[in-house]
Amino acid sequence: MRKTRLGLVVGIDLDNTIISYDRLFLQEARLRDLVPGDFVGTKREIRDRIRQLPNGEVEWQRLQAHGYGPAIAGAFVAEGVVDFVHTLRSRGAAVFIVSHKTAFSSLAESSVNLRDAARGWLRENGIIAPDSVPEENLYFEATRADKIARIVELRCTHFIDDLEEIFDDPGFPPGVERMLFATAATVPHNRYPTYGSFREIADVFFAD
């Protein structure tokens, strides 16, 4: 692994971390009558509500496949992430995106390649760029175990993810700083330092 002036190798998750799906999933869930028209909530809360329905897990996975594929253009860039990555790069840190994402979903309603859709979104929103995250620093992994193995291989010093399950996994390397991307309201009993935006995360790295 190449040396950096900061000595940092920062890994970042993709879905629900760099890409914000809250508004997109709420809109699509209402259109599909999976939540009431007056329902308001985050993607996590939408998921929990849909899972209570008959066949709810299947409906949730179909909604995910639609949001991650054909509808991804309607997703938003997480607040502050572009500036955060640019500052890391300008100070000599290495930045990687490591995502647990298969190319296709068995429950998808279209044949859109989910990895290609995500890659296109990252380019259009300035995340994949010479002064941001180089294309070769983007990794899609088929399983959680593969994602964790990639984090180990890249020798990340920090990893930012919205899922506690990644950090709880016995295979997650103990020397990596775990940074949970979520609000306290959505993760009431989290065991990790939690950040609601990339501006909050930037304060940790660039507080001097």
Q: What is the pLDDT of residue 20?
A: 93
Cα 60 off chain centre by? 17
Q: What CATH fold (topology level) applies to the domain 9-20+77-205? A: Rossmann fold (3.40.50)
| pLDDT tens-digit map of 40-80 | 988 889 999 999 999 999 999 999 999 999 999 999 999 89
Q: What is the pLDDT of residue 173?
A: 97
> 């929990």: which residue's tokens?
48
Q: What is the pLDDT of residue 46?
A: 93
Q: What is the pLDDT of residue 175?
A: 93
Which helix or strand (DSSP H or E) is residue 76 part of? strand 76-77
Q: What is the pLDDT of residue 2?
A: 39
Q: What is the pLDDT of residue 183?
A: 61
Domain ranges of the chain: 9-20+77-205, 22-73
Spans of the chain, pLDDT less than 70: 1-6, 108, 183-190, 208
Q: What is the pLDDT of residue 134?
A: 96
Q: What is the pLDDT of residue 43?
A: 86
Q: What is the pLDDT of residue 6?
A: 56
